[in-house]
Chains A and B, each alone.
Chain A
Amino acid sequence: MNIPKQPISQRILKYTLTTAIIFASLWSAAGLEITIERILDAPRQIGILVGAMFPLDTSQEAIDRIIPKVFESLFIAWAGTVIGAIFSFPVSFLAAQNVAVGAVSRITKQILNAIRAFPELILAFVFLPITGLGAFTGTLALGIHSIGTLGKLSSEVIEGIDEGPLEAIKSSGGSKINELIFGVIPQVMPTITSYWLYRFEINLRASAVLGVIGAGGVGQELINQLRFRDFPRAGTVLICTIVLVLIADAISASIRNRIIQGKVVKS
């Protein structure tokens, strides 16, 4: 059988990349002092930890402590997302090339990039001395980070719109404001709303983590229980978090589907 061979340049690229990947992982493993024994021993050690978590601590006292913390994470995530959505919405119009003037769009985009570059946790400990230990700090950190990410995504949606409706409004004598309200917003709203919900899913995970530095939420509870070696209770915290995230994800995903795909019309 006569199969054409891969061009030589592609084969060279393939082999170089494979070597590079193998070399990079060996270099990393050596630098981090990861040995075969440690890798082989890890499953046993993880097994011990998981074994120590069961049976879960379901005493009334534990539940009373954990459930409010889990819900606090939910509230932080939602409030953070709302802050991000409210502020990123007008900003995204300023950042979109086809709506704002070139210079304004470029400057706004750079600002959004700068906001996005800081992880939520770093923002959170800048806010700690101002807002104190608690949920408010986490909310602000998530909100500000969300302005950066949502602003970028929304401005990209606005840049991708169909220009036809805008022309139609212009030719019927509509002003620039009319173009925005009747031409741009109806086109971008479904996608932007679904991005807001998507961001909420991400923020829910992030807010669970924020507790590690004392910015509220369930992370605090988990790290405390692990420090005190109270593994059954840590297990309960973990399971409660998983259940909350699964439920919130499912609701958010079904609303997103409904918004993007529209209602299924039975004929």
Chain B
Amino acid sequence: MINLPKKPPPSYLVTIGIPFAMLFTVFSFQRVGFNLQDFRENLANRAIVTDPLFNPKWSWAWENTADAMIETVQIAILASIVGCALALPLSFYASRATNLNKYSYFLYKSFLNLVRTIPDLFWAMLFTVAVGIGPFAGVLALIMFSLAIMGKLLSETIDSIDPGPMEAAKATGSTHNQTVFTSALPQVLPNFTAYFLYIFELCIRASVILGLVGAGGVGRIIETQRIFLRFDRISPIIVIILVVVILIEQFSVWIRRKIL
């Protein structure tokens, strides 16, 4: 008989957490009306969507989506550039390594967290009400979206930079701002570039759906056709979007390999 050491008792996380999670799961499924019976009965209705979905009207899509697709890409480009540019200084204020003032650090950090809790389409709805329907609202919404992601990623990267160069800069008598500019910023610039490309890809995906609430881009066309159940017009648009998204991702992978 092998003499194994005794297994430690499971923690509270396991003994209480797992049964609780299971109960919560059952409760959630009940509350969302999870019902496979109905699903099977109504499966015949799928023809409303799937028949036209698999009979795409390509000619219509070619004629009507080009402008909106370009608009989508433009929204994503402008919003990711402006959002990331705004996030660059903010992240330095929202990091313990570069902001020595405890209170202002907390303020900036909370601000970024707050921006991050509001979903992108909520921003779009709010901005369409504030500045009017159109792509400008979409740009503002995605600026907040990319600002939030970049702020979180970059400030956490700044938290974990090597303190050596900063100490060296301080030892030569530089002010705090000079220290940050010469020793903290160059350390995170490669990460910043990588995050920027990642956020640009996210923005392309997000800008597709902005049109559903009137914030410009190709989603506007999807929404109008969806209301009339013209899924034969929607499916080619979806394919075009997929192709554009994949091309842009390949492009961004290529750039990443070139500069990083």
Contact = CB atoms under 8 A, between A and B. Distances in A.
Interface of A: 13, 17, 21, 24-25, 27-29, 31-34, 38, 41-42, 45-46, 48-49, 71-72, 74-76, 78-79, 82, 117-119, 121-122, 125-126, 128-132, 134-136, 138-139, 205-206, 208-209, 212-213, 216, 219, 222-223, 226, 238, 241-242, 245-246, 249, 255, 258, 263
B66 interface: no
B153 interface: no
A205 B32 contact: no
Given A32-B75, A49-B129, A212 B121 contact: yes
A82 to B, nearest CB: 5
5 contacts: A13-B259, A79-B28, A134-B32, A212-B212, A213-B226
Interface string B145-182: 00000000000000000000000000000000000000
Contacts of A38: 131, 136
Grouping DSSP codes into helix (H, G, I), strand (E, B) and loop, the A interface class, with mixed when no group exceeds half, is helix
Q: How large is the interface on B (under 10, 10 to 19, 20 to 34, 35 or more residues)?
A: 35 or more
Interface stretch (B42-50, B57-65, B95-103): B42-50
A42 B140 contact: yes
B185 interface: no
A42 B71 CA distance: 20
Contacts of A27: 74, 77
Interface of B: 11, 13, 17, 24-25, 27-29, 31-35, 38-39, 42-43, 45-46, 48-50, 53, 70-71, 73-75, 77-78, 81-82, 113-114, 117-122, 125-127, 129-131, 135-136, 139-140, 205, 208-209, 212-213, 216, 222, 226, 238, 242, 245-246, 258-259
Contacts of A134: 32-33
Nearest to B113: A246
A128 B48 CA distance: 10
